[in-house]
Structure 1
């Protein structure tokens, strides 16, 4: 028995349990803050799965397409029976339904309820998978096992704080794709055709989920250079961008008649927002508690400490990746993103994760010259 509880398989079981709890808490924090934009005429869940949402939101079709596909595979009688059960009005006062204490939830609409639940749980599974991929990213970044295991949980718990101006299910799927792209890019070589094929396939799926992946792909170049020549790495980046561009073009063509626009110019709104001192002190309700926004003096102080403590330990390839992604993401953020909406700096998520893991490793390491008695007393 002692051998069983000390085995690697049991440790993975405990890690899985811990990550399930973290993913559930994060998705609940997101859902209670934003739900699935229920009732929003431009980007509600029913509009997303029906393909009638406004641009650019309607372009983020991967998860809605999966939900539509799963429902289409089921017999109509099964869909009708499940929809009837999931949309029961009693679920407003039940702990078993997503509409709990929210009578206006689209989860109570028979026409969309099954797909609503599918999107919700696909989002949860994407975040859960992302936690394991993030652990792999941290290990490849050189973090020891303890901090590489803790950092994904800490990072994931931060995600609802980044959803200030809006919160969307595809943001969590985006995390899975970006972290997976980092893992694949760091291991791609001429001798790994399957990994190369997986990276190419991932690019298409990631662009289907969110068109911003097109701009993330050039930042993979420093990681590809670990095992590829300049020409090979540049050629692969070009191919990845071509795949993303084709997917994006197909989506733009498919939804060209939808209301909205591809992007909104936000430079002047951003400048007015950031020069106002009051905007650096704003709060909002996250996880049911009124706390400072991610874009605030508190948040920026926390990010600065993570960067300072982790940067010197970051591998050169990951440093170059971080600089390149910052050069890409920051101008886009200032020009086209809503003021103070930190989720639009999502291309920096892998860099933040690595810095967090390395900073945690530094903070968790025993301090040289420390008084053992004092350390024991603090513990």
Structure 2
């Protein structure tokens, strides 16, 4: 009985810690952008009404989910709930950027709730993933908690609800590939692709993990199969909104070339958690990344190193071709690799401190 109580206490404390840092990180994200309220091209109203510009309108997983949930609420209960939420102003009173459209108040609150649950779940899965890879629960837990806190830094030049679900699906997909669970990965592919088209590219980075479990041909078939399922999902969604304004992407290569030689771009700051902290390619942050990679790289297994290399090539090409300079949220294919390296870095620091003592 004593061991069971001790096990429960440990689990409860870890749960509470992850919940706390998830709440902090989520509030840091939401206080900066909310759901891009009022923006005609990608704001919450445009996404719910499916009038947003391409490619934003393609990311319909959450809008469709909340509209479905709101639709099945009985009319009397829905009316009472709308009145209570309107009078309570629970979100607007806490976030200056939140401007909830009255006609979609329930959908908005559902989006807020689902996004937080997805963020919490993504940090929980990341903790499990990092703990398994580093074989150190302390390093895995601290690494996941750190990601929750620094996530708003990745979103300072543009934050979107689907970025949070992207985390969940990438961390979950990585864990499935690590365990060789290709059936679940196939089922996850269309759902994640309906959230954001980047998951199709992320699936390609999982080939080295598939290869550790299966022969060459089967690993290639699994990887190609998941990409095919995601690709067909994308094509189906794309044709639904072919009449919406906008383009699939904008060329940004010249913007990046100009930005590289603007020294002030390496020292931009923004307000996060109420403090003036760095944004984009802030030079001290770049130095931290370099030190983490330098320290943690040799600890990674061959499969994870190959995963990181593939992610770097794919994400690097996409970033310089189609993404605005300093918008590091679009380096998301590298999140898993970076956090594995960070967890190894943390483990190394902890072990050295233990030896000193």
Normalising by structure 1, report the TM-score. 0.91
- Superposition pairs of residues 81-230 of structure 1, within 5 angstroms: 81-88=80-87, 91=89, 97-100=90-93, 105-107=98-100, 109-188=101-180, 195-230=181-216
TM-fit CA distance, 1:11? 1.0
Question: What residue is the counterpart of 2:38 in the other structure?
Answer: 39
Q: Deviations over 1:333-356 (max 9, x none)?
A: 000001100000000000011001
Q: Determine helix, strand or coil for the equivalent of 2:51.
A: coil
Question: What residue is the counterpart of 2:25 in the other structure?
Answer: 26
Q: Which moved more, 1:175-184 or 1:142-151?
A: 142-151
In 2: Cα distance, 1:292 partner to 1:26 partner: 16
Q: In the alignment, is the contact (CA less than 8 A) between 1:284 and 1:293 conserved in 2?
A: yes
Q: In the alignment, is the contact (CA less than 8 A) between 1:266 and 1:336 conserved in 2?
A: yes
TM-fit CA distance, 1:143? 3.8
Question: What residue is the counterpart of 1:356 in the other structure?
Answer: 342
In 2: Cα distance, 1:350 partner to 1:260 partner: 31
Question: What residue is the counterpart of 1:376 in the other structure?
Answer: none
Question: What residue is the counterpart of 1:312 in the other structure?
Answer: 298
In 1: Cα distance, 2:4 partner to 2:135 partner: 27
Q: In the alignment, is the contact (CA less than 8 A) between 2:131 and 2:138 conserved in 1?
A: no
Q: Determine helix, strand or coil for the equivalent of 1:291.
A: strand
Q: In the alignment, is the contact (CA less than 8 A) between 1:39 and 1:105 conserved in 2?
A: no
In 2: Cα distance, 1:273 partner to 1:56 partner: 24
TM-fit CA distance, 1:281? 0.9
Question: What residue is the counterpart of 2:66 in the other structure?
Answer: 67
In 1: Cα distance, 2:245 partner to 2:204 partner: 30
Paired residue total: 357
Q: Deviations over 1:163-220 (max 9, x none)?
A: 13200111111011001111111111xxxxxx32211111111100100111111110
Q: Deviations over 1:292-345 (max 9, x none)?
A: 114210110111111111111111110010001101100100000011000000
Gaps of 5+ in 1: 92-96, 189-194, 373-379
Q: Determine helix, strand or coil for the equivalent of 2:91.
A: coil
Question: What residue is the counterpart of 1:342 in the other structure?
Answer: 328
Which residue, out of 237, 259, 282, partners 2:268?
A: 282
Q: In the alignment, is the contact (CA less than 8 A) between 2:31 and 2:96 conserved in 1?
A: no
TM-fit CA distance, 1:73? 1.4
Q: Determine helix, strand or coil for the equivalent of 2:276.
A: strand
Q: In the alignment, is the contact (CA less than 8 A) between 1:23 and 1:156 conserved in 2?
A: yes
TM-fit CA distance, 1:287? 1.5
TM-fit CA distance, 1:76? 2.0
Gaps of 5+ in 2: none
Q: In the alignment, is the contact (CA less than 8 A) between 2:182 and 2:222 conserved in 1?
A: no
Question: What residue is the counterpart of 1:56 in the other structure?
Answer: 55
Question: What residue is the counterpart of 1:16 in the other structure?
Answer: 15
Which structure: greater helix fraction? Answer: 2
After TM superposition, which residue ranges in structure 1, 4 or more long, deviate above 3 angstroms?
Answer: 1-5, 101-106, 366-370
